[in-house]
Amino acid sequence: MKLLSLHHPHLRRCGTDSPAAVGLRSVGRALLGRDARPCTHTTSRGDFSVLCTRCRIRTAVTDDGLCTFCSGTRPPLPDGLMPPVAGPGGWGVATWPRSPVGLARAVTALLGLVIAADLFAIGTGLRLRALWQGLVTDGSMDIHGKGGDTAERLYGIAALSQGVTLLATGVVFIIWFHRTRRNAEVFDPSVQRMGPGWAVGGWFVPVANFWFPYRVASGVWEASAQTRPDGGWRAVPRTPLNLWWGAWVVSLLCTRVTERLWDRAEDAEEIVRAGGLVAASDAVDIVAAVLAVLYVRAVTGMQVERALHGRPPGAPASAPAPGAHR
C-alpha cells in the first residue's frame, strides 16, 4: 500500500479545494490519522508552496525553511511504511519505499536457525566420523552396533534440519532482497544495473547465479548509501557486501564438492575423509551465515537512514543505467 502525502504534485496542481485534493486528504486521514491533517504552518508565497531549503523536495513547514523530515519534527510512521522519496523509478517501480526492517528481522532469526542446524550437523557428523575412524585404525565394530545406528540417525536428522532451515531462510531472504532492490529504485535508479526482477530470478540462473545477484546487490548498496545530516553523500565501504558474497560463493562451491565426495564414498577410509570435509564445509556455511546477518543489517540500516533524509540534491531522477539487463 502506498503512503499518501498531502503535498502530492497532483494536489498542488489541482488546488487544495479541488475534488482530487479533498479525496486525497480523506484517504490520507484514513491511513495516517492525525498526521494526515492539512499542515497549518506551510510557508507559502501566493498560490505556490516554498520547498525545503535543504532537500528541495518537500514543502517547508518551519520558520527556518525546513520540511518535517529535515527538521526532525515528523511523528514516527507506522510499521511497514517509510518516508516518501521523490521518484519515479526507472523500472516502473512505485515512488514510495517500503520498510525492510520486519523482513530483515525475520531473515536474521532464520539465519540463526541455520547456524544452529550447522552446529548440530558438525557435532553429529564428527561423532559418526569418529566411529568410522575407529573401524579404520583399531578395527572397532562400534559403527555397526547400536552406537553407530544412533549416530547415523542423528546425522540424518541434522541433514534434514539443515535443508529445512536453508529453504525457509532462502525464501525470506529473497523477499527481503527484492524489497531492498525496489527501494533502491526509488532512491537512485541511475545506478541500478539490473531490473528488480533479477533480485529474484538471478539466483536461479545456472552459472550466472554466481554473478547476477552481486550486481543487483551492488546497485542496492550504492543507492542506499547513507547521507550526511546536511544531505550530502557519505562514502560507505562495501566490506559487508563483499565479505558476505565471497563467503557465500565459497560455501556454495564447498557444499557441491563435499556432497559428491560423500555420495561416492564406499569404504571406511573414504567415508572418514569425506566426513571431515563435510564438517569443514558446514563451518564455512556458518561463517557465510554470520556475514549474511551483518550484510542484511547494514543494508537495512542504510535504507532506513536514506529514506529519512530523502534524495540528496543533484541525485539522478529516472532512467536506468545504459545497457542494464531487464
Length of the chain: 326
What are the pLDDT digits (tens) for 31-70?
333 333 333 333 334 444 576 676 555 567 787 777 665 6
Whether the predicted model's global pTM rises above the 0.95 cut? no
Residue type, 97: P
pLDDT at 73: 59
Residue 311: is its pLDDT beyond 80? no
pLDDT at 56: 54
Instruction: List beta partners, residue 48.
Output: 45
Closest to 167 measured CA to CA, from 205, 104, 206, 113: 113
Q: pLDDT > 90: what percent of the chain? A: 50
CA 97 to chain centre: 13
Please name the residue ranges forming H helices in the chain: 9-14, 19-32, 68-71, 101-137, 146-187, 198-201, 212-223, 239-264, 268-309
Average pLDDT, the chain: 77
Instruction: Give the single-character DSSP code of 321.
Output: P
pLDDT top residue among 78 and 73: 73
Closest to 279 measured CA to CA, from 169, 166, 158: 158
Residue 126: is its pLDDT beyond 70? yes
C-alpha cell of residue 10: 497532483
C-alpha cell of residue 56: 528541495
CA distance readout (Å), 120 to 145, 146, 155: 22, 20, 8
What are the pLDDT digits (tens) for 152-208?
999 999 999 999 999 999 999 999 999 999 999 888 888 888 999 999 999 999 999
Q: pLDDT > 70: what percent of the chain? A: 65
User: Residues 6 or more apart from 224 whose CB is under 8 A from it?
Assistant: 180, 183, 184, 187, 299, 302, 303, 306
Q: Which of 54-63, 109-118, 268-277 is predicted least confidently?
A: 54-63
